Amino acid sequence: MLKVFTDPVFIKHDTGSWHPESPSRLEAVTRAFKSIPKLCIESSCPQAKREEIELIHTPEYFNYISSQRSDRIIMLDPDTAFSPASKEASLKAVGAAIETVKFSCHAENNRSFCAVRPPGHHAEPNRAMGFCIFNNVAIGAAYALDCGMAEKVTIIDWDVHHGNGTQKAFYSNPQVQYISLHQYPFYPGSGSADETGEGDGKGYTINLPMKSGSGDDDYRKAFLDIILPAIDDFKPELIMISAGFDAYIDDPLAGIRLSIEFFGEMTRMIIDSAKKHCHGRIVSSLEGGYDIYGLTETVKLHLKVLNDE
């Protein structure tokens, strides 16, 4: 069963007319829903609690975000906008991740998708970064571990940008396997192949840097040769996807050249791994994707495959 979690406040997160991470992105994702019959949509998300945010973020950072009072758009960093609705939106984006974890861990073959803004994978424990305020997927994974819903979680991040925040959150944690395919060298500058974890977490971070111009064949080889065998070795009890769609061939912010169809192929390979190791349980959460047509079509296919269509 596939369930989508979203909320009207995500549209209200105003980043300014110039910003690529705009409300039109979520409108594009919403259009994708209409082509999927019997899709179960939860249209209201709870706000995450302080103790849930602090599974990943520092108390000082939570206080900093909570203290923002603005009647206009301000910038938390050179890329990350914050407007009057942004605090509620960011708390509900985390709330959606937690609700999807609860849902997906409840029964076999439960899959869920967070149609949220702002995205999360660049947010570090003590700072906003790269359009991201709180790290939605990282907090969801930490929640699953903290509540005993899973002993081991695999996070697959196929956003075109490296998820520096997620990597930092779990770099020494052997319970989380973080796997990232991303354009390199590129923003944010992290994600080289020799970044593999530290201490007890050594070997549980797997970075697969891709050259600009890489396409379906390059990503397919990475999945078949490295990612799927690594998941087989790790045997997670939950798989989470940082689902950025900016590796699409016409995305304006990057140079990877994936077809629409390949996003369905990646989804299918992850489903097969999830069925093998964690009773088919998958949580997917929206990260990047800035070509509006491409975002609609890639999300549509991603959801259809998650829905076993």
pLDDT tens digits, 213-239: 999 999 999 999 999 999 999 999 999
Residue whose pair of structure tokens reads 């977490």 in the numeric block: 201
For the record, the structure tokens of 136 come out as 């939605």
Closest C-alpha among 215, 230, 221 to residue 183 = 215
Q: List the helix and strand counts (H, then E) for the chain.
A: 11, 10
Checking if the pLDDT of 70 tops 80, the result is no
Judge whether 277 counts as a catalytic residue: no
**Residue in this structure with the two tokens 């706000």, named with its chain if needed:** 47
| CB 296 within 8 Å of CB 261 | no
pLDDT at position 267 is: 98
Asked if residues 100 and 140 have their Cβ atoms less than 8 Å apart, the reply is yes
Burial group, residue 107, by CB count within 10 angstroms (0-12, 13-18, 19+): exposed
Which CATH code, of 3.40.800.20, 3.40.50.720, 3.40.50.920, 2.30.30.100, is assigned to 2-306? 3.40.800.20
What is d(CA 149, CA 187) in angstroms, rounded to the nearest whole number?
33
Q: pLDDT tens digits for 34-46?
A: 888 889 999 999 9
* C-alpha closest to that of 53 among 158, 138, 174: 138
Please report, rounded to a whole number, the percentage of residues in the chain having pLDDT higher than 70: 100
CA atoms within 13 A of residue 109's CA, in its CB half-sphere: 6
Catalytic position from the list 13, 121, 122, 161: 122
> What is the arithmetic mean of pLDDT over 8-27?
97
Report the mean per-residue pLDDT for the chain.
97
d(CA 252, CA 43): 30
Cα atoms found within 13 Å of the Cα of residue 94, Cβ hemisphere only: 26
| Amino acid in the structure at residue 135 | N
